[in-house]
Amino acid sequence: MSGAQRRDSGLVVEDRGHVRVLTLDRPERRNALSSAIQADLVEELLRCAESGDVRAIVLTGNGPAFCAGFDLKEIREGDRRGEHFRPPMNRPTRSLFEVVTETPVPIVAAINGAAVAGGFELALACDLRVAAPGVPMGLPEAKIGMGANFGSVVLPKRIPMGIALELLYTGEYVTSEVAERWGLVNHLVPADEVLPTALELAERIAANAPISVRRMKETAVKALELPLWQALRLDVGPNPYLSEDRKEGIAARLEKRPPRWTGR
């Protein structure tokens, strides 16, 4: 993939070296997650997982919002047509948030504007988050009769239980400054520096041994709830200790030169 490609759903896909940039481009709908854009995101993430060239991903939104969550207009139109509504985990397709979490390539969220409802869940599913000041974040699902299934599971794992439950029960927003204090935001930067900072962070990740980075992500995600003795014995994905890149990395360090990673 070379230049930026825009899908009919509104997803823009662009490669910048070993970094793939995925942009939600529905500013008129505040980048709401329609069924079509969810399907395209899942497909692109699966492609990234299969690619040997993609070593980091940046996920962002075009316009004033990062993502306003699920497309409520689309849902209401389905209700009016009498269509049966299935909760996210009861659908024949995989949950977008689940796929984001399980993608072995590290994902950096560049949060340029509001990240609320499913948009906040999407940001939570990413590995790292870069945000502008004053960005509203939260889960208003209790105010509209929705469930926030992913957020209800993940948020209490990210921040203290009492704070997570208050956000879930009240449906109120906090700013990115507060989220940074809680550790939900890695870097808080001026609005015009959000995407460049996320890209620079992704490029630093992509400069490292791809097998090592993938192994670290898969181990960290899958070991999170395991007892220490089980977590230490996880064996997920290719083993970097047995790779050609391990030999190359050591040689490059001793020879004081940049490593030439092959992903093998």
1 — pLDDT class (breaks 50, 70, 90): very low
Q: Which of 86-95, 119-128, 199-208, 229-238 has the lowest mean pLDDT?
A: 86-95
Q: Which of 116, 105, 95 is nearest to 59 (CA)?
A: 105
Catalytic center residues? 121, 141
* pLDDT at residue 222 greater than cutoff 50: yes
User: For the residues 31-40, what does the mean pLDDT come to?
Assistant: 94
> Would you say residue 2 has pLDDT above 80?
no
Query: Quick one: pLDDT at residue 88?
Result: 72
Classified as helix, coil or strand, 252 is helix
97-133 confidence digits (pLDDT tens): 999 999 999 999 999 999 999 999 999 999 999 999 9
What are the φ/ψ torsions at residue 24 (nearest 5 degrees)? Answer: -75, 115
The whole-model pTM stands at 0.93
Mean pLDDT, residues 135-160? 94
Q: Is there a contact between 1 and 13 (Cβ–Cβ < 8 Å)?
A: yes
Please compute the mean of the pLDDT values over residues 233-260 and round it to a whole number. 93
How far is it, in rounded angstroms, from Cα 178 to Cα 187?
Answer: 12
Half-sphere exposure of 41 (CA within 13 A, CB side): 31
Calculate mean pLDDT across residues 231-259. 93
